[in-house]
Amino acid sequence: MAQTRELSAVNEALTPLADSQRVFGWHDHAALWFSLGVGLLVMQIGAYLVPAVGTRDAALAIVLGSCLGAGLLAWTARLGCESGLSSAGLMHATYGSAFARLPVLLNIVQLIGWTTFEMVVMREGTQAIGKQAFGVALDGPMGTVLTTLLWGAVLLALLAGSMVKLVRRFVSRFGLPLVVLSLLWLTWQFATRLHAGGFAAFWSRAGDGSMGTFGALDLVIAMPVSWLPLVADYARHGRRGGAGAGNAFNGTWLGYGLANIWCYALGVMVVSVAAPGTPLVAALLLAQGGLLALGLILIDELDNAYGDVYSGAVSTHSLLPRWSVRRWGLVLGAVCIALAMVLPMHALEPFLLLLSSVFVPLYGVILGRLGTGRAARVGAHRIDLVAAGLWVAGIAAYHACAAWASQWGAALPTLALTFALAWFTRPAAGATDASALVRNRG
């Protein structure tokens, strides 16, 4: 009897998915992206906004930035659903089969970094729960190893299964209702405290001027934009034809936009009622029922780690297709677990944010070339010099805006610039179909 082998005969990441694999409906897209949009990091950034810009400007930045950022995610999701291509496939279709390896490799590096960071967030949340709720100190060397391995083992178990089944059977049916209930409970708890302290005083609170409104908007947009290199890896599983692409667009926009607004707003509420200097996790634990609610959010944080490492596995498979996406996922997951125990992740967070900045212009070019009703296609060349040049120029423009015009933000101007230039310089129709990616991956 032949043994089952974890080797892939076809580069699944660069080949449009077959109809039999495209099963996600509107509810699946919405549940997935609501779950991925919920996270302690989002709440922490929300908590940072109020002291900087004040409550009213923070609320404006949260709503507007979440709608715009989730809209970009939804646009990319529609493109992935229509083409059936992964994120790596879209990069190949835009930049050429040889040059695309550079952004794909950068995406793998950032996804390993963010997965490792998520592991640290879950570990530190677990340590805080153990200390404040049970009086157990888990922040020593042995406690750090044990809590990291605990979450790592669960992550590996999820990676050994099917992504599609995880989304449809767990996230949609069980995970989403539990997370919504935990957010509702925490919102009620902190809204009650705000009301007791005077809502008018909360709403009229002024900022310290350390950040402008556009800077706050840029910070809010940064979270959904950080998911741009991943969204097509999931949206390509959306049903083909009819309302399939529309379901991917609407479900992604509604799911992520709602979660982003909710978590940012909850962070604002928490920092407004907690004692100065109180860490976010500690403030959540002080709320009635906060232990259970925080535990559910930590479990949901696992979805973020899974989402990062699964997409990293798809991208790695696009470069080295002899191993399947599942096998690469297990390898990358093990690497992240090891890194979480040795790297000073909080010191590396600025580097990860810097690395993420390259994907703003990257997707400005992709959407300008492929997101305006034109099919995802590739030419006969291995490098699209114009697209590559626009990406490099976009990176320079992003950092120039951040350095010399930070009051206007950097993400939106860079996206607008690279999108417009990519649209005006897009090649004429008639290139080979996207399925040629398999023959032209160099």
Residue 34 belongs to a domain: yes
Residue 384 lies in a domain: no
Residue 273 is assigned to a structural domain of this protein: yes
Is 341 domain-assigned? yes
Question: Tokens for 86?
Answer: 């992964």
- Quote the pLDDT of residue 406: 77
267 within domain boundaries? yes
DSSP letters for 235-297: HTTBPPSTTHHHHHHHHHHHHHHHHHHHHHHHHHHHHHHSPTT--HHHHHHHSTTHHHHHHHH
Q: Which residue has the tokens 């920092």?
A: 271
Q: Is residue 213 situated within a structural domain? A: yes
Is 370 inside a domain boundary?
Answer: no
- Residue span of the structural domain in which 99 resides: 19-346
Token pair 């949206």: residue: 235
At residue 398, the pLDDT reads 92
Residue 374 φ/ψ region, left for φ over 0, alpha for ψ in the -120 to 50 degree band, beta for the rest: beta
**What per-residue confidence (pLDDT) applies to 440?**
36
Q: For the domain that residue 81 is a member of, what is the CATH number?
A: 1.10.4160.10
Report the C-alpha gap between 94 and 132 in whole angstroms. 51
The neighbour count for residue 399, using CB atoms within 10 Å, is 15
CB-based burial, 105-114: b 16+ in 10 Å, e otherwise: ebbbebbbbb
Kindly give the parts of the chain with pLDDT less than 70: 1-9, 242, 345-353, 356, 373-381, 428-442
Asked if the structure places residue 204 within a domain, the reply is yes
The pLDDT of residue 380: 43
Q: What is the pLDDT of residue 340?
A: 92
Strand 432-433 and strand 377-378: pairing? antiparallel
Q: What was the pLDDT predicted at 377? A: 54
Query: Domain total for the chain?
Result: 1
Cα–Cα separations (whole angstroms), residue 425 to 94, 101, 200, 370, 384: 12, 22, 51, 12, 11
264 to 2, 194, 213, 259, 323: CA distances (angstroms): 53, 16, 15, 8, 39
